[in-house]
A = this chain, B = another copy of it.
């Protein structure tokens, strides 16, 4: 499953419609080769070791771009600002990528805990399922 070389990474970027720069290559590789889920700042520190002249702003712009073209995931946050909910039982949330509205997902709600088989001693307190997409009002096709 390993053994990706620079050429592979370049191809990956191109496949996602991106121009290739050494900054993008370095940023993507830094993220690809770690199991942590680093922040922009952390990636910046990492990449700076190889390319001391890179700027933090570029890292932000690049990560956002990667996210747009679905090359990487953004684990959190899902909305720009914090959003709250008085309903406590675990239930799913539908978050509109466009207008950022949030609604509860009907059906299949309830207390159905996601089974979590032995995760190296991680003790789960809460769970949260977020489905991102487009609400009826923002669905592509609505001009």
Interface residues of A, CB < 8 Å — how many? 70
Chain B positions within 8 Å of A85 at CB level: 31, 37, 72-75
Residues of B with C-beta under 8 A to A133: 122-126
Among B74, B82, B84, contact of A83 (Cβ-Cβ < 8 Å):
B74
Q: Does A111 contact B (CB under 8 A)?
A: no
- The reply to whether B84 and A72 form a contact with Cβ atoms under 8 Å apart is yes
Chain B nearest CB from A122 CB (Å) reads: 5
- In angstroms, Cα B116 to Cα A39, docked, is 31
Interface residues in A42-89 by Cβ distance below 8 A to B read 43, 63, 66-67, 70-79, 81-88
Distance (whole angstroms) from the CB of A98 to the closest CB of chain B: 11
Q: CA separation between A41 and B100, bound complex, in Å?
A: 15
A107 B118 Cβ-Cβ under 8 A: yes
User: Which of chain B's residues have a CB closer than 8 A to the CB of A130?
Assistant: 75-76, 127-130
Complex: A75 Cα to B93 Cα, angstroms: 8
Q: CB within 8 A of A93: which of B37, B43, B135?
A: B37
Residues facing B in A119-143 (CB within 8 A) are 119-136, 139
A129–B132 touching, CB < 8 Å: no
Mask: chain A, 87-122; 1 = CB below 8 Å from B; 0 = not: 110001111110001111111100000111111111
* Chain B CB within 8 A of A36 CB: yes
